[in-house]
Structure 1
Amino acid sequence: MRELVYYVAVSLDGYIAGPDHQFDAFLIEGDHMEGINEEFAVTIPTDIAAHLGIDQSGGRFDTVLMGANTHAVGLPDMPSPYRHLQQIVFTHRPLEPAENLRVTDEDPVAVVRELKQQDGGDIWLCGGGRLATQLHGEIDRLLLKRQPFLFGDGIPLFAPGEYAPEQFEHVRTRTYETGVSFTEFARRR
């Protein structure tokens, strides 16, 4: 069965973006980028990967989920940032039609449960924190790109919510000279 994987960059103090939705402090150069290019090339926006000559075929994910604010990061330059994947944006706001982009105000949990029953690759939860909170019970894996800095405030990895503690097991950690570490956790079943 397909898994829902929350793969996201996060600061040491637990934020996926700053208070004004900025993410420009995240390191985008250094030895950790080799790890992204090797294992997670499909998580690079289509146009950027093409410009860099990065092959995006055969990746782990074939679907990406985003909230409206995460999707808006690339607008208007990239209305369909991950055209090589099935993109689903959860929002009540209307968005311009774009290639391989589904915009919905459906219940994210119901959509994910339906996706998990279909054939295909894993489902990448790209962000944001409110969507992650809505989907917390459906997340099978966390893949955190821990960045070596503090935001101090911003968009948390998970927005505040009411749910029981859930345990995940450590799968692996890889740390790079840049100070960035990739840590994977799997939901304890």
Structure 2
Amino acid sequence: MDSPDIGAGLRKLAYFVATTLDGFIAAPDGSFDFLPLMPDVAPHLVAEWPQTLPTFAHAQLGVDSPPAGRFDTVLMGRASYEPGLKLGVASPYAHLRQYVFSRSLPPADYPDVEVVAGDPAAFVRELRTRPGRDIWLCGGGHLAGQLLGEIDELVVKLNPVVVGSGIKLVDRGFDPHRLTLTSTRQFDSGVVVLRYTRDG
């Protein structure tokens, strides 16, 4: 069984996200219903990564409330936050402290989350100095691009799908970052969960 723990010490930032074979985490409009949670993958997430499942799905999936795990904080970009809003879900991960990075959302209009308008990398560096557990980056690609130098671990649920365009896994200029593969988990549905850590 893979353990989500990657060690003690300074709080770590883990980017855990579903992606296509060609590196897209959402459609051009931000939707991601073409990347459903496959029935054979769900038990793995419930057992190993329960905190990455939205709060409203916990009862249906049999997740303890609140779920145990390594994270106490989740980061998301505006585009990652908005699909839930369209469904009337203003607090998608109520079991975690939620930060939404946006320069356009008025904080007073979104009391269920903390809206951050400043530099994401500087914010994460400051956040690491506060007491707490590890930090989960759930998306999106533009935010991941700004935080690439801060990401300690990348966990991708690689889906056997090619889409051609959309929101990239990481959206930034050419800037190679080499990672080390630490584990793989393959499922009959064709999904492969790959875990990487940052070199150095």
Query: What is the root-mean-square deviation in Å for CA atoms of aligned residues?
Result: 1.3
Query: Which runs of structure 2 are paired with 1:72-83 in the superposition (5 Å)?
Result: 72-76=82-86, 77-83=88-94
Residue 91 of structure 1 and its aligned partner are, at CA, apart by 0.2
What are the Cα deviations for residues 147-171 of structure 1, in whole angstroms up to 9, with x where unaligned?
11111110010113243x2211110
Report if aligned partners of 1:5, 1:139 keep a CA contact under 8 Å in 2: yes
Matched, 1:122 2:134: yes
Q: Report the TM-score, using the length of structure 1 for normalisation.
A: 0.94
What is the aligned partner in structure 1 of residue 12 from structure 2?
3
Alignment match of 1:47 (pick from 39, 46, 56): 56
Residue 57 of structure 1 and its aligned partner are, at CA, apart by 2.6
For residues 37 and 156 of structure 1, what CA distance do their matches in structure 2 show? 26
Matched, 1:170 2:168: no
Report if aligned partners of 1:170, 1:185 keep a CA contact under 8 Å in 2: yes
* Structure 1 stretch displaced more, 87-96 or 126-135: 87-96
What is the aligned partner in structure 2 of residue 20 from structure 1?
29
Residue 27 of structure 1 and its aligned partner are, at CA, apart by 2.7
Residue 35 of structure 1 and its aligned partner are, at CA, apart by 0.8
Residue 107 of structure 1 and its aligned partner are, at CA, apart by 0.8
Q: Percent identity?
A: 43
For residues 39 and 55 of structure 2, what CA distance do their matches in structure 1 show? 20
Residue 52 of structure 1 and its aligned partner are, at CA, apart by 3.4
* Structure 1 stretch displaced more, 9-18 or 51-60: 51-60
1:74 aligned counterpart, secondary structure: helix
For residues 49 and 32 of structure 1, what CA distance do their matches in structure 2 show? 15
What is the aligned partner in structure 2 of residue 94 from structure 1?
105
Residue segments in structure 1 that go unaligned for 5+ positions in a row: none
Amino acid at match of 2:182: V
Residue segments in structure 2 that go unaligned for 5+ positions in a row: 1-9
What is the aligned partner in structure 1 of residue 197 from structure 2?
186
Alignment match of 1:68 (pick from 75, 78, 86): 78
Amino acid at match of 2:26: A
2:126 aligned counterpart, secondary structure: helix
Matched, 1:58 2:68: yes
Residue 51 of structure 1 and its aligned partner are, at CA, apart by 3.9
For residues 143 and 130 of structure 1, what CA distance do their matches in structure 2 show? 17
For residues 27 and 67 of structure 2, what CA distance do their matches in structure 1 show? 32
What are the Cα deviations for residues 102-129 of structure 1, in whole angstroms up to 9, with x where unaligned?
0010110111001111222211111011
